[in-house]
């Protein structure tokens, strides 16, 4: 089997809440997502989606996905989409860096492999290690009382894990953490995610101010070294996200005891092939993961569900149902949340079918 063509579709994903705010005043109102189709000479097409969180979160941006596909796309024509390691080594050799560009090609090829074998992707990733996947809800940065009110609403929908967007004013962030923890049950999980928004001094102060609370601290500062310094000063469980961008940084962080949990974002590391490798390293080292991506709709949510379902429950700290945040459906067959959980489809591949009347005409054709 050979890759014969690649198409990319641009689609806007408005938010039910109207706006998503995180650290340092960053926000998005409509996400710019790219749906990718990888076509083959066997008549089988695989699909994937890549949706960066704006341009101020990671070294990635929406237009960059499509520009990168125009660059790398011609260089994968003729390759066998089911030879996933060969494909990934080739992509790395013809385009240095830009893992988020390579991710949808890799994921679409996993979709193809599933369709060829008649197996769901979670089977190919290791099998059903859990039947349903526990979800967290991200709480957009607002005033402490507003965030507490939103958590109460989402708790009523079945969520028991919450990721609080902090990384703003230190005094307000302390109030945000306290106000939201107060309304939760003892068994509920609260993560204070600063998204690199604190200085080392602010992070040290905030961690000390909430030392009496059951709260996880996630990615307080921009650099690995700053986060490691904060980690040494607090007994709160610690999550690293933005600075864990591949196997190399993961191995260093494990050796340095830099975190208790990682946030494994599939497109950040280059797709399912590399995410599976990092997942397996985490399981072998006893490190739980939040399994997710930067953002997305139905196809990203399906991809997350397959990787998470093939991960042992004790190492699947949480995952994300991004398609429940938006107002637009872009594919049928995607997972739907039920009482704070989701699961992956048993259909071959990712189990989704793009809604082309929503996607419109492709903006990239290779």
Catalytic residues: 165, 265
Q: Which of 64, 68, 37, 39 is nearest to 51 (CA)?
A: 64
HSE-CB for 337 with a 13 A CA cutoff: 19
User: What gap in Å lies between CA 49 and CA 107, rounded to an integer?
Assistant: 8
Q: Which of 315, 199, 223 is nearest to 262 (CA)?
A: 315
244 touches 262 (CB < 8 A): yes
36 touches 69 (CB < 8 A): yes
* Helix (H) or strand (E) run with residue 202 in it: helix 200-209
Q: Which of 313, 139, 122, 299 is nearest to 215 (CA)?
A: 139
Longest dimension (CA), the chain: 60
What is the token pair recorded at 138? Answer: 């991200």
Q: What angle do CA 138, 139, 141 make, to 5 degrees?
A: 130
Sequence-ordered list of residues with C-beta below 8 angstroms from that of 29, at least 6 positions apart, any chain? 14, 15, 18, 19, 20
User: What gap in Å lies between CA 165 and CA 186, rounded to an integer?
Assistant: 20
Q: Which residue has the tokens 């989701």?
A: 342
HSE-CB for 175 with a 13 A CA cutoff: 12
């Amino acid at each position: 089997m050979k890759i014969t063509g690649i198409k990319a579709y641009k689609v806007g994903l408005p938010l039910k809440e109207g706006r998503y705010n995180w650290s340092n005043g960053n926000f998005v109102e409509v996400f710019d997502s790219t749906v990718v189709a990888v076509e083959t000479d066997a008549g089988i097409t695989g699909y994937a989606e890549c949706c960066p969180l704006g341009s101020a979160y990671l070294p990635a941006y929406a237009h960059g996905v499509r520009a990168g596909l125009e660059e790398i796309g011609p260089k994968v024509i003729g390759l066998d989409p089911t030879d996933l390691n060969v494909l990934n080594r080739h992509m790395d050799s013809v385009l240095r860096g830009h893992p988020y560009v390579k991710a949808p090609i890799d994921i679409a090829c996993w979709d193809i492999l599933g369709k060829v074998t008649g197996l769901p992707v979670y089977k190919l990733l290791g099998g059903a290690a859990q039947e349903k996947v526990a979800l967290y809800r991200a709480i957009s940065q607002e005033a402490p009382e507003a965030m507490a009110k939103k958590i109460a609403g989402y708790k009523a929908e079945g969520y028991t894990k919450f990721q609080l967007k902090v990384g703003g004013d230190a005094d307000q962030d302390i109030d945000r953490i306290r106000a939201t923890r107060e309304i939760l049950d003892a068994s509920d999980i609260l993560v204070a995610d600063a998204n690199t928004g604190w200085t080392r001094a602010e992070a040290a102060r905030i961690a000390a101010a909430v030392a009496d609370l059951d709260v996880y601290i996630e990615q307080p500062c921009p650099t690995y070294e700053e986060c490691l310094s904060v980690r040494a000063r607090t007994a709160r469980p610690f999550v690293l996200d933005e600075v864990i961008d591949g196997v190399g940084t993961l191995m260093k962080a494990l050796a340095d005891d830099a975190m208790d949990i990682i946030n494994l974002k599939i497109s950040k590391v280059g797709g399912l092939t590399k995410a599976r490798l990092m997942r397996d390293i985490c399981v072998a080292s006893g490190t739980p993961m939040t399994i997710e991506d930067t953002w997305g709709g139905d196809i990203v949510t399906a991809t997350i569900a397959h990787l998470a379902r093939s991960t042992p429950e004790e190492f699947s700290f949480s995952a994300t149902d991004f398609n429940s945040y938006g107002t637009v459906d872009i594919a049928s067959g995607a997972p739907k949340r039920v009482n704070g959980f989701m699961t992956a489809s048993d259909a071959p591949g990712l189990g989704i079918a793009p809604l082309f009347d929503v996607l419109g005409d492709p903006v990239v054709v290779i």
